[in-house]
């Protein structure tokens, strides 16, 4: 794994940590928390777009293309983004993403 790829994984991990901290401060019904989480989801999507297919293919259980597309949805169609979609993503999808990123970083640490 290249240094660039590792950095993108670390970017995802940092955004996941920030989202967790934001949600710990308050509910997504708070506009400030919602906006902070949305920006971090955009960062995750941008970082995922920079990862090579060969790398993400080693974690086939994740919808990598959907993660990247969510970034586009959040960045370009923000008026169409519902709280329910963001809440579901935070609750159901981000833990799996965090686990996959940790595994990829563990493998990279051995190289």
Summarised one tens digit per residue, pLDDT across range 37-80 is 999 999 999 999 999 999 999 999 999 999 999 998 888 876 77
Query: Active-site positions?
Result: 71, 76
Where in the chain are the domains? Answer: 3-109
In angstroms, the CA 90 to CA 41 distance is 9
Percentage of the chain modeled with pLDDT above 90: 77
Place of tokens 């799996």: 96
Residue 18 tokens, joined: 């920030």
- For residue 58, the Cα-to-chain-centroid distance in whole angstroms is 17
pTM, two decimals, is: 0.90
């Amino acid at each position: 794994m290249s240094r660039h790829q590792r950095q993108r994984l670390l970017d995802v991990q940092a955004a996941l940590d920030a989202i967790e901290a934001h949600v710990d401060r308050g509910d997504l019904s708070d506009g400030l928390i919602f906006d902070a989480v949305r920006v971090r989801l955009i960062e995750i999507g941008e970082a995922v777009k920079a990862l090579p297919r060969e790398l993400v293919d080693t974690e086939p259980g994740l919808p990598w293309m959907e993660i990247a597309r969510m970034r586009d949805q959040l960045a370009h169609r923000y008026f169409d983004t519902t709280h329910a979609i963001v809440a579901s993503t935070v609750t159901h999808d981000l833990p799996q993403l965090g686990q996959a990123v940790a595994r990829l970083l563990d493998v990279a640490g051995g190289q």
